[in-house]
Amino acid sequence: MKLLEGKTAIVTGAASGIGKSTALLFAEEGAKIVVADLNAEGGNDVVKEIERKGGEAIFVKVDTSNHEDAKKCVEQAVAKFGKLDIAVNNAGIAGHTQTVGEMDIDGWNKVIAINLSGVFYGMRYQIPAMLKNGGGSIVNISSILGSVAFPGAAAYVSSKHGIIGLTKTAALDHSKNGIRINAVGPAFVDTPMISDIDHEELKKIHPIGRLAKPEEVAQLILWLASDKSSFVTGSYYPIDGGYLAQ
């Protein structure tokens, strides 16, 4: 039997990168997928790819910084598939590289709104839907920069630290209700988000000597989403090629 047979999952930021790899892997493991993203073209391409492989999926256009969009996403998931079992709150942006003393206020607010408030908005509506279903699993995508700092990335670092605290608190709030909530902390992953950064230099800061592949991160997310991790909640799992061991 497939790991997610009969489950319904929302994956935000699913048009590319980690989100896309996660949506495709979940579908292979039997889940019905809500592909949530602002990028309608990319999102619909992911839906078509899932359907070509025999899976079920819909695309919902979602701006994670808008709580009404988060609510709509859950409503459409339940309307289409009857329930919600799993959510992966993955959508995020890097923002501009600026020192704290020079940081653009609007730029700060945008990163926090998408990366941190977006995870809260997602869970705010995902959890009540899961409660009606007797429980579920939520995986929030933080970063290695949820544990350590990085120069010029104050908004991103703050948002990813915040996700870990939010994840732990939500897990304590809802463990008794059968909802497990965990966070994943990838190092630098070979996705469009870092396309403008020198990959050779990034490889040097990972002891393993390369960047992560989105498919590798998706495998950890799958484990946390599935019943294989049934006693795991409130935890933060780096997947970083040794980055945080330095």
Residue range 8-245, CATH number: 3.40.50.720
Q: Which of 121, 125, 156, 243 is catalytic?
A: 156
In the annotation, is 236 catalytic?
A: no
pLDDT at 242: 95
Beta-bridge partners for 35: 11, 59
Those residues of the chain that have pLDDT short of 70 are: 193-196, 198
Distance of CA 172 to the CA centre of its chain: 20
Mapping DSSP onto H, E and C, the string for 88-99 reads EECCCCCCCCEC
Report pLDDT digits (tens) over 13-63: 999 999 999 999 999 999 999 999 999 999 999 999 999 999 999 999 999
Cα–Cα distance between 120 and 113 in angstroms, integer? 10
pLDDT at 154: 98
Exposed e or buried b for every residue in 40-52, given b needs 16+ CB within 10 A?
eebbbbbbebbee
Cα–Cα distance between 153 and 141 in angstroms, integer? 17
pTM: 0.96
pLDDT at 195: 63
pLDDT at 108: 98
For strand 179-186 and strand 57-61, is the pairing parallel, antiparallel, or unpaired?
A: unpaired
